[in-house]
Amino acid sequence: MFTYKTQIRLHDTDAAGIIFFANQLVIVHDAYELLLEKFGFSFPQMLKGGKYFLPIVHAESDYKAPLFVGDHISIKIKVGHIGNSSFIFEYEIRNRKRLVGTAKTVHVTINPRTKTKVSLPPKLRAALEHYARKS
């Protein structure tokens, strides 16, 4: 399972010093980007003339406990589903061993020129399937 580690920074929090709700999705997106890089798919490559792009078409996030400036967290990502043109990532956010949040993102593969759905590229499908078996 892929694990991304980070720390809650001041700019991640609201006036009460607790993580601002939208920033939980920002942090899981950071983890998502690094996992794609591990698969060999970077956003710079996709944005500079790639044949497909992977927008998020649905995102949800649940908060189980507050996070504060300085908290060290880890985000674990697993593949929730692989479809013809889409896939789902599920995230667990932990502060030490305590589950403090969960999230889910649904991604659809599109042609960047036409903005229409296309099948998952074989190399990406293979990476997702391989990762799903290891998780």
Catalytic-labelled residue, pool 12, 14, 30, 71:
14
Q: Which residues, 6+ apart, have CB-to-CB distance to 96 below 8 Å?
A: 72
DSSP bridge partners of 78: 90
Q: In the numeric block, which tokens belong to residue 103?
A: 């999230």
Contact 89, 39 (CB under 8 A): no
Residue corresponding to tokens 């720390």: 7
The DSSP H or E segment spanning 133 is helix 122-134
Q: What is the DSSP string of 19-43?
A: B-HHHHHHHHHHHHHHHHHHHT--H
Q: Is 30 a catalytic residue?
A: no
- Give Cα 99 distance to the centre of its chain: 17
The catalytic site residues sit at: 14
